[in-house]
Amino acid sequence: MFCEEIWARTATLLKAIHDHPFNAALGDGTLDRERFAFYMVQDARYLSAFSKALAAASVRSADPADAMFFAESAHTALAVERGLHTSYLEEFGVSAEEEAAVPTSPTCLAYASFLQATALAEPLPVLAAAVLPCFWVYQDVGTALLARTAGMDDHPYRAWIDTYSDESFAASVERIKAITDRLAETADPATRRAMAEAFCRATEYEWMFWDSAWRLETWPTRQWLG
């Protein structure tokens, strides 16, 4: 199956995601608030582009059940996940004005632009493969962190871990994997290769996104702008 093949292809990269200092510190509960707040701000902006890509997938889906899944996922990205971001930023004392003043990072802009370009120019099978890592990688990381933090009820990032290790989120992951596998079955070889490349590129962006938050990434050219 396509999903099994592409998951195996990205195994080393997935391990690097799990081992990244950001996720290691997130699991330990030692991740400093500045990095996590930066991540929350950037992720909220990414989710806007992600939800639009899901909405585009819904419009393109010939199967009514698939269309409903993508539409519901677009709503969840904006309502449920965005709500998680808002609650953490409020807890950290980050005002709406302070959030708006944080520049969108180069990595966030690149990942969002990749999804928007894919939604605009690529067929549905490629778009499905491109949005799949944001479901699957997060569920994989969340589940691993849940196991690592068992019994740590006072964990500062418990809500984040619970969101991405939740059974309902896991069910959504299985659903989009099934959709992607079905689309790959009827895809021609060129489209299947494009699906694989889209999945790999999005997974690369997942690593880069956490890495950018760890580094508090800024625009190196900002100093030369008036």
pLDDT digits (tens, 9 = 90+) for 189-225: 999 999 999 999 999 999 999 999 999 999 999 889 8
**pTM of the complete model:** 0.95
Distance between CA 127 and CA 65 in Å, rounded?
17
Domain ranges of the chain: 2-216
Tens of pLDDT along 43-86?
999 999 999 999 999 999 999 999 999 999 999 988 876 778 78
Residues 6 or more apart whose CB falls under 8 angstroms from that of 195 comprise 2, 6, 125, 126, 128, 129, 180, 183, 184, 187
- Return d(Cα 215, Cα 87) in angstroms, integer: 23
Considering the four listed CATH numbers 3.40.50.300, 1.20.910.10, 3.30.460.20, 3.40.50.150, the one that applies to the domain covering 2-216 is: 1.20.910.10
Spatial contact of 132 and 203, defined as CB atoms under 8 Å apart: no
Q: Under a CB-based contact definition with an 8 Å cutoff, are residues 109 and 46 in contact?
A: no
In angstroms, how far is the first alpha carbon of the chain from the final one? 52
The pLDDT of residue 92 is: 84
